[in-house]
């Protein structure tokens, strides 16, 4: 089941030359170690750990969100059942923790990322039950905190643990943790955009599922904040509940018309720029790492 979750085999255990994910997090860990003069090998336990935590979080998130598809295949729980998928997630997490158990200088970031991840995921879940408008609407500030936790923590852990295992100074690792959190916000916004305007044949995820389940994604929050006629219509459409294909498409068009797509794009760019500026200050010669970080908002999957 873990091999299936990692994209190495199909549901019957046969080798599957498929989509094992982008490998962004382990790449950040290895490149961060090299950027401080260490070897990529020195950061291998961190690279393995962050990829295992990522696989753990996908396994559990798909159960929580009832998502049936992942990377062009059935979700783990859909292929094996909720109990086995839950336990497989736990196994992936246990193995991740084991990787860094006796490397406290890296483990402290992994452990912080785990706490952030759960906080962020929990906020994301709670947001679904809050109204689109009114005194208890989800603010963009709350969204950013959620995204920094849910997505940024693990990117931060990848960078900081990579620096720590590569022999970098603790202060440098702390700063790279902050870089990762900013990157995470940008990464999450890019993910939100793919969920509305991405090509499901490329992303491997069902399109518009975020809209259907009242997920408070940044493009929609930004559109609603515009307070234009399109924004007001969007508010009415969303509050009525979008369930059929037509109303979902209509809502997506309104998000774009109200400026949600442009605003989301601008905000993602802003967070990446901030991250890259901090990266340049911390690690001026980390060209490969810089290219990787910059690419996170220009992706199609």
One residue of 46, 50, 76, 114 binding its own copies per CB under 8 A: 114
Q: Are strands 73-74 and 69-70 parallel, antiparallel or unpaired?
A: antiparallel
How far apart, in whole angstroms, are the C-alpha atoms of residue 108 and residue 157?
9
**Interface segment toward its own copies; rule CB under 8 A; list 107-115, 160-168, 176-184, 220-228:** 107-115
Query: How far lies 52's CA from each of 8, 34, 174, 285, in Å?
Result: 13, 21, 22, 29
Under rule CB under 8 A, residue 37 binds its own copies:
no
Under rule CB under 8 A, residue 291 binds its own copies:
no
CB of 113 to its own copies, least distance (A): 9
CB of 112 to its own copies, least distance (A): 7
Q: Running DSSP on this structure, what letter comes out for residue 41? A: G
Under rule CB under 8 A, residue 70 binds its own copies:
no
One residue of 122, 209, 228, 262 binding its own copies per CB under 8 A: 122
Beta bridge partners of 74: 69
The backbone torsions φ and ψ at residue 209, rounded to the nearest 5 degrees and listed phi first, read: -70, -30
Which residue pairs, CB below 8 angstroms and at least 24 apart, start in 168-174?
A: 168/32, 168/33, 168/36, 168/37, 168/38, 170/105, 172/36, 172/282, 172/283, 173/105, 173/109
Q: What angle do CA 55, 56, 62 make, to 5 degrees?
A: 90
Under rule CB under 8 A, residue 60 binds its own copies:
yes
Q: For residues 127 and 271, which CB has a smaller minimum distance to its own copies in the complex? A: 127
**Interface segment toward its own copies; rule CB under 8 A; list 33-41, 59-67, 130-138, 156-164:** 59-67
One residue of 13, 83, 229, 284 binding its own copies per CB under 8 A: 83
Under rule CB under 8 A, residue 112 binds its own copies:
yes
Under rule CB under 8 A, residue 169 binds its own copies:
no
Q: Running DSSP on this structure, what letter comes out for residue 285? A: T
How far apart, in whole angstroms, are the C-alpha atoms of residue 93 and residue 109?
15
Token pair 């049936």 is found at 68
3 state SS of 119 = helix
CB of 114 to its own copies, least distance (A): 4
The string over 102-138, giving b where at least 16 C-beta atoms fall within 10 Å of a residue's C-beta and e elsewhere, is ebebbbbbbeebbebbebbbebbeebeeeebeeeebb
CB of 96 to its own copies, least distance (A): 9
**Interface segment toward its own copies; rule CB under 8 A; list 39-47, 118-126, 230-238, 286-294:** 118-126
Under rule CB under 8 A, residue 163 binds its own copies:
no
Q: For residues 66 and 253, which CB has a smaller minimum distance to its own copies in the complex? A: 66
Under rule CB under 8 A, residue 251 binds its own copies:
no
Residues that bind its own copies (CB under 8 A): 60, 63-65, 82-84, 86-87, 90-91, 93-95, 97-98, 101-104, 107-108, 110-112, 114-115, 117-119, 121-122, 125
């Amino acid at each position: 089941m873990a091999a299936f979750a990692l994209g190495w085999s199909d549901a019957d255990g046969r080798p599957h030359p498929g989509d094992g994910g982008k490998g962004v997090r382990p790449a950040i860990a290895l490149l961060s170690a090299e950027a401080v003069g260490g070897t990529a090998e020195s950061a291998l336990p961190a690279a393995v750990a962050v990829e295992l935590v990522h696989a753990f979080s996908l396994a559990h998130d798909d159960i929580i969100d009832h998502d049936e598809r992942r990377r062009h295949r059935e979700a783990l729980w859909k292929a094996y059942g909720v109990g086995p998928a839950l336990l497989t997630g736990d196994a992936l997490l246990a193995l991740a923790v084991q990787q860094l158990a006796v490397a406290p200088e890296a483990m402290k970031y992994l452990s912080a990322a785990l706490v952030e991840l759960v906080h962020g995921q929990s906020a994301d879940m709670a947001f679904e039950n809050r109204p689109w408008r009114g005194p208890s609407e989800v603010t963009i500030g709350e969204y950013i905190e959620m995204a920094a936790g849910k997505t940024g923590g693990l990117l931060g852990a990848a960078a900081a643990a990579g620096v720590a295992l590569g022999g970098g100074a603790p202060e440098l690792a702390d700063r790279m943790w902050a870089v990762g959190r900013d990157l995470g916000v940008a990464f999450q916004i890019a993910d939100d955009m793919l969920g509305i305007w991405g090509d499901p044949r490329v992303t491997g995820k069902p399109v518009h599922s975020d809209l259907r389940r009242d997920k408070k994604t940044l493009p929609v929050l930004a559109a609603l904040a515009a307070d234009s006629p399109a924004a007001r219509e969007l508010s009415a459409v969303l509050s009525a509940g979008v369930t059929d294909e037509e109303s979902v498409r209509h809502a997506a068009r309104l998000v774009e018309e109200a400026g949600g797509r442009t605003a989301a794009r601008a905000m993602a760019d802003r967070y990446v720029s901030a991250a890259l500026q901090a990266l340049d200050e911390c690690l001026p010669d980390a060209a490969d790492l810089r290219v990787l970080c910059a690419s996170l908002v220009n992706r199609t999957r």
